[in-house]
Amino acid sequence: MKKRLFIMDIDGTLALGKQLIDGAAELIEEIHRQHGICCYFTNNSSRGVAEYVDKFQNWGIRVSEEEFVTAGTFAISVLKKQYGDQKIFVFGTRAFLWECRRMGLNVTEREETGIAAVLTTYNRELTYETQTTVCRVLQKYKVPWYATNEDLCCPYEDGIMLPDCGAISYMISLAVNRKPQFLGKPHPEMAEYVLEKYDCTREEALLVGDRCYTDIACGQQAGIATCLVLTGEEKNARNKADICLNSVKDLAKILKRQRLNNSEEFPTHNWIQQSATENKEGIQEIYEGLQQEQIFAEESRWYRGDLHIHTTMSDGHDTPREMKIRAEKEDLDFYAVTDHNVWQKKWPLTSCMVLPGMEMTQEIGHANRIKVGNHEIFSLNHPFLDQWSWKWMDLKLSKLTCLEVDNNPTFEHDANQHAEKANKKAVALSDLLWADGHRICAVGGSDVHLKETEHYGDAAVSPKPGDPSTWCYMEEMTPAQFLKSIQACHVYVTRNCEVQFFCECYKASGERIPGAYRFGDRLPDQCAIMGFELKIKTRERNAQVFYLNDGEKMVLLEEVRKDGWRQYNGTITFSAQETYHWIRFGAETRKGILLFYANPFTRGEKKPELLTFGDASSHLDLHQIQ
């Protein structure tokens, strides 16, 4: 069922201290765009509702007091209903005391007769004197003791945690040898109060928060779907919530995707299992129902992804949920899940476009199979990486869709592996195939197996999703557009750098040929001159930026540097005598390690002479590659 009511925690979910979390404003805007209801649902009772309204409006978000339900306002409503006009001793901030009086609760902060109950809150103004008073009241009058919430700490800026009502109440309880009755989250009555207030069913609501033991537990006990975000107290993916996302920014993307696809169902997973079979080799094949036209983003642009990822479904160390959180942290737009010899049955809900895949793992070598509807992308992985190199020489090159030219560069730090040399050989193979007239799309793959706290040998960094990155140009991000991008070779690979590129084609007369051209394009036959502007941003100080003109390396000289971007301009003239040309742009470190590899532009056609992997390998002088 489509969600209508979004019950959202504030501290750690939408904001950290005075700072709005990235994507929070976009989420609220998207909810309103779909005529949904926002309820700001917090255990923080240190502020009055009016203060929250001012805070949100300072962030540029229009809200009303009616949209807020705090543990404080809920506690006031409970105590007012139970005690009427009787006197309640309140241990809280001045703002909360004002809130109590505004809502008609008879309160005092002094030790006096006639007190019917005690309420303790998240009190940022506490002193030893005020703590002494509440302890005296609790021990002297023996009245019921309530507390707004049992949160131990409140997230603040820069990852700092402050003592919340739970910690404060625990400190008092040690002194008075009593425990309070907590009223706020995780107790389901607070969530049920919100459902009644907005006249919504449990099925129409989604509770979003950053804590399992309060936010998520509250939603689950009330029978409401829950979404955990990892921007507050929880820092690891958990299995307790229905959905676990890196931040509310990802939830905004999911809701936008739902709107773009006119879906009436709120998704809980990315794929739906269609069928499962097992082939003769015992490889489990699970084909997933990922709709080819499903829209994940509507902009026409370059999208960043990773086509080689592993989880605990094979020999990876991260669970699917942990891996999808890591991919969101790296701000990937898309990725393929490629566990060894197994298709994943389903994938946790994420803001990314996730493609079902499998790394076919045999003694002859490794290759990815990525499903897009009825089509399958066949990509040769790390073809020269030691014991995992490709050994079947009779593989027909016409069967290949992609070739992995950069595979997990951190693997070089394993004493038994030679990843740098293997990647250089893969680049040389790709260049050879383009020179021979093949159009096999060069891609990258992190091949990530380890957790973000683990690394190979003495590597300074851990393998991570998107290192290296594969960039695909799509008119909108859909599985069908991804397939089209790969087939057109509108793809480039980067490691630790960003790229911007623009080019124009001209006839021999100097007349400009209309059209927009991207990496991997076939240029018009009448193109005699290509003018280009290439910009690169990288931390590598001595990066060598170049293009290959039919295999001849032309090093580019930097012309402009601004805001970290290095700009290179130039023109390339095509020989009228040659019927086939290929132009590849790239960048390397001083040691020749790949920073940037763009699939080449070609002009004209050439019938390939190299037909098998063995043919191509025999034409490479692999021993000369260091």
Give the pLDDT confidence score for residue 288 in this predicted structure: 43
Q: Dihedrals φ, ψ of 342, to 5°? A: -150, 140
Largest CA distance in the chain: 105
For residues 39-58, give the mean pLDDT.
91
At residue 95, the 3 state secondary structure works out as helix
Closest CA to 466 of 379, 543, 406: 406
What does pTM read for this prediction? 0.83
Give the pLDDT confidence score for residue 161 in this predicted structure: 87
Q: Is the dihedral of CA 325, 330, 331, 337 positive or negative?
A: negative
What pLDDT digit, counting tens, does each position of 98-154 carry? 999 999 999 999 999 999 999 999 999 999 999 999 999 999 999 999 999 988 888
What pLDDT digit, counting tens, does each position of 276-323 carry? 344 444 433 333 446 788 899 999 999 999 999 999 999 999 999 899
In the chain, what are the domains?
A: 5-43+186-261 (3.40.50.1000), 71-182 (3.40.50.1000), 301-619 (3.20.20)
Closest CA to 401 of 372, 381, 378: 378
How many angstroms separate the Cα of 528 from the Cα of each of 375, 437, 516, 570, 596? 36, 19, 16, 14, 26
User: Do residues 583 and 572 make contact, with C-beta atoms less than 8 angstroms apart?
Assistant: yes
User: Do residues 471 and 598 make contact, with C-beta atoms less than 8 angstroms apart?
Assistant: no
- Listed in sequence order, the residues at least 6 apart from 113 whose beta carbon sits closer than 8 Å to its beta carbon are none
Give the pLDDT confidence score for residue 622 in this predicted structure: 65
- State the DSSP string of 355-413: EEEEEEEETTEEEEEEEETTEEEEEE--TTSGGGS---TT-BGGG-SEEEEEE-GGGGG
For residue 470 the two structure tokens come to 């594969």
For residues 252-278, give the mean pLDDT.
72
What pLDDT digit, counting tens, does each position of 409-441 carry? 887 766 677 889 999 999 999 999 999 999 999
Quote the DSSP letter at residue 414.
S
For residue 124 the two structure tokens come to 């940022």
Cα–chain center distance at 183: 35
Computed over every residue of the chain, the mean pLDDT equals 91
How many angstroms separate the Cα of 155 from the Cα of each of 19, 44, 412, 514, 614? 11, 11, 40, 55, 59
Is the pLDDT at 541 greater than 50, yes or no? yes
Where are the alpha helices (H) located in 437-492, listed in sequence order?
479-488
Give the pLDDT confidence score for residue 287 in this predicted structure: 39
More confident residue, 283 or 499: 499
- The C-alpha atoms of residue 487 and residue 21 are separated, in whole angstroms, by 38
User: Do residues 372 and 292 make contact, with C-beta atoms less than 8 angstroms apart?
Assistant: yes
